[in-house]
Amino acid sequence: MWIAPSEKTIERDLKLDCSGADIRAIWKARNAAELFTIFPPVKDHARRLPISAGLATLKRMAIDTAGGFHGVEYLGLCKRSGQSVYYCNAGDTYATTFIFKGKRLTVGCWGRHCRERDH
C-alpha cells in the first residue's frame, strides 16, 4: 500500500506548482499505465530510464516535476528498515520537501533532521 500525507498537510507545508490531491493521486497510482493517465509528462521521463526502473522511481520523478522541484536525490539508507531514502530537491537544505522511503511519502526537512542528529 502506497502511503501519503493528507492533502491538507501537503498544501499547508509546501509551496507547489500543483495541488495536494495531484500529489496523492500520483503516489497512489497502482501501476505505470494509471500513473501515465494521472500525470502524462512522466511518460517522457520513463522513455529515458532503463527498463529496470520501477514504479517508485517513476512516481518520484512525477512528483518532482508536478511539484516544481529541482530533481530527486538519494539521501541514504534508513538505519531502521534498510530501505533507500530519496527526497525532492527544493533548492535549500532546510526547506520542507517530500521524502520518500519505500512506499511511504512524507513531508519533512532532511537538513534540519540531520543537523539535529549530529549534535
pTM: 0.89
Nearest one of 78, 54, 71, 76 to 2, comparing CA atoms: 54
Is 96 within a domain?
yes
More confident residue, 112 or 109: 109
pLDDT digits (tens, 9 = 90+) for 75-97: 999 888 899 999 999 998 889 99
> Range of 15's domain?
7-118
Residue 115 near residue 102 (C-beta atoms within 8 A): no
- Kindly state the average pLDDT of the residues 55-71: 96
- At residue 113, the pLDDT reads 53
Cα distance between residue 95 and residue 109, in whole Å: 6
Three-class SS state of 73: strand
Is 1 within a domain?
no
Count: domains in the chain: 1
Residue 40 near residue 32 (C-beta atoms within 8 A): no
Is 2 within a domain?
no
